[in-house]
Amino acid sequence: MPPRTTDSSPERRDTDRPHPDQEPGRERSVPDPEAGAGTGARVGQAPHSTEDPDTGQGGGSADGATGSGGAPSDDTADTADTGDPGVDRRVAAVRRAAEGGRRWRTAQLAGCAALLAVALTGGAVAFGGAGGGTTGTGVDTVSAAGALTPGALARGDLDSGIVSLQKHLRTQPRDFGSWATLGVAYVEQARTKGDPSRYPQAERALKRSLELEPDNDQALAGRAALAAARHDFTGALKHADRALKQNPYNERALCSRVDALVELGRYDDAAEAARTADDRRPGVPVFTRYAYVHELRGDVRTARAVLERALSQADSPADVAYVATALGQLAWNQGEYKTALGHYARALAADEEYLPALEGRARAQAASGDRTAAVEGLERVVARFPLPGPLVALGELYEDRGADGDRAKAGDQYALVDAWTALARAGGVNADLDTAMAAADHGDKKEALRAARAEWNRRHSVHTADALAWALHVNGRDEEALPYARRATATGYRNAAFLYHRGVIERATGDDREARTHLKAALELNSGFSPLGAREARTALKDLEGTR
């Protein structure tokens, strides 16, 4: 599977959670949506110190202390479970920042990032604050040695697991393995909770692990996962390679290497990396990545077969939810909405609050014509986690519906994308692809082109090619856009949005025959790829047919 991290593209898999296999004798730990899993905690023998497990610095409490060793913070239960006050604070902060952004969009955006960073942390971003979750007590997840058992996080006990790790590290502060596990747990929390302000915490924990045990593969693999989450895919590849030099069987590093190569557009290398990972560590995290590499090449049959195999081997609710959602997304991309809804139903039966399944189900409902259910579903998603993908999808559904007040509601969603992007950048995330994709249709077109060019200079994937092509188009530079649109579709990846973009650009350059071919292909593949895009594709195709 690709690392979707914060990308708003519906084709990419955001906040998914690959999980480690369960072979005895192999390390496994925090499930990570971008890098798989693979680092287990080792118990150190060092005496107690006052280092803060939340920051990797001295002088604090593991349950929530100031980053400089001051008094403990009251914000120690800042989880993102339903009904948790931490979620309410985070979502409210994003919405407050977005309101300001609507009034002073250009002048205030830089300040918005800083305000969001402060508002969302509530004293907990740099200082910990993962309170007890509802899925575990924190007691059952602690091993005899006091450290978090590797399987606990894979069962979804992320928040309570983090608390357990913090407690353990107060008494065993030189346990480099647990520092590495804590770092990856923060990466996972940032992604599943929609809170990129956790990434600096992850960076400090992983740094502490490497200070205690230089070049340990657990922390290096964690750094690869963190870099991928921040969209630094060159860095992710470098850290993954270093980890694999220390331990060629580190599952997290093997998966991160596939992810990085995919996102850099090095698809042949990614295919080889996926085969290597499958040889060394076959299991759910590797299977899903193997499937995505095939999907990117247009081999949907193999991708589906591999995912079905992964689902047959899924032995936990988290694994079932993850793989069933991947199957749902694959089916949705092919326009198989009934099949997609069946897969999402299975995912939600395993985990009724699994965000990617909730978002995917809403998209499939919209494509099937059940707009009311789709709007309600996406409203539920963004109320908890205002991420770019569902925000844009909800805004477009409001625009398509066109009821009184819907245009203003849509504008609110697009403003929230700007606010989230500012927060992501404050957490060290490269958000240029998110910016380019959202702004091209719903924001500052010049900013969309700047961001798309910047991202293309970093990596040449089909997604960045498509984003740059579309940003050039909306800025009236279609001749320049066409080679990028062709490149986005050159691998055989069956993506209706890419085909739609190419068709529109071809029409603008005067190639009506190719435009008809690709607009028709987009609608035949997935007529519900976007409520606004599909409508525009039908209109353009009708106009082209009328001029033949």
Query: What mean pLDDT comes out for the span 422-431?
Result: 88
Contact indicator for 91, 84 with CB cutoff of 8 Å: no
Q: What is the pLDDT of residues 59-72, one digit of tens each?
A: 433 333 333 333 32
Whether 226 shows a pLDDT value over 50: the answer reads yes
Residue 127 reports pLDDT greater than 70:
no
**Cβ neighbours of 49 (radius 10 Å):** 14
**Per-residue pLDDT, 411:** 95
Residue 17 contacts residue 3 (beta carbons within 8 Å): no
Inform me whether the pLDDT recorded for 104 exceeds 60.
no
Four-point Cα dihedral 236, 17, 117, 57, nearest 10: -70
pLDDT in the model for residue 79: 34
Tokens for 72, please give them: 């403990």
The answer for residues whose C-beta is within 8 angstroms of residue 170's C-beta and 6 or more apart is: 48, 53, 61, 62
- Confidence (pLDDT) at 203: 96
| Mean pLDDT for the stretch of residues 373-389 | 93
pLDDT of 21 reads 33
Burial of 538 (0-12, 13-18, 19+ CB in 10 A): middle
Q: What integer pLDDT is reported at residue 78 of this predicted model?
A: 36
Predicted pLDDT of residue 22: 30
Tokens (6 digits) for 270: 């990614």
Which tens digits make up the pLDDT trace of 24-61?
233 333 333 233 333 333 323 333 444 566 544 444 33
First vs last C-alpha separation in the chain: 42
Instruction: Find the range with the poorest average confidence among 101-110, 302-311, 394-403.
Output: 101-110
* Banded model confidence at residue 153, pLDDT cuts 50, 70, 90: low
pLDDT of residue 191: 77
Alpha-carbon torsion, ordered 364, 368, 373, 375, to 10 deg: 70
**58 strand-pairing partners:** 51
Q: What is the pLDDT of residues 496-545, one digit of tens each?
A: 999 999 999 999 999 999 999 999 999 999 999 999 999 999 999 999 98
Residue 108 pLDDT = 33
pLDDT tens readout for residues 256-306: 999 999 999 999 999 999 999 999 999 999 999 999 999 999 999 999 999
**How far is it, in rounded angstroms, from Cα 206 to Cα 187?**
11
> Would you place residue 94 in the very low, low, confident or very high pLDDT band (cuts 50, 70, 90)?
low
R_g of the chain, CA atoms, integer Å? 22
Between CA 347 and CA 299, with CA 335 as vertex, the angle to 5 degrees is 85
Q: Please report the DSSP string for 28-79 in residue order.
A: --S-BTTTB---------PPP--EETTTTEES--TTSB-TTS-SBPS-----
> What 8-state DSSP symbol labels residue 368?
T
Neighbours of 41 (CB within 10 A): 28
Average model confidence (pLDDT) across the chain:
78
- For residue 86, name the pLDDT band (cuts at 50, 70, 90): low
Query: Both tokens of residue 278?
Result: 């499958």
Band (376; pLDDT cuts 50, 70, 90):
very high
Q: Does 243 score more than 70 pLDDT?
A: yes
Beta-carbon contacts of residue 514 (< 8 Å; ≥ 6 apart): 503, 506
Whole-number percent of the chain with pLDDT over 90: 63
Residue 378: half-sphere exposure toward Cβ, Cα within 13 Å? 27
**What type of residue sits at position 101?**
G
More confident of the two residues 68 and 414: 414
Reported pTM? 0.75
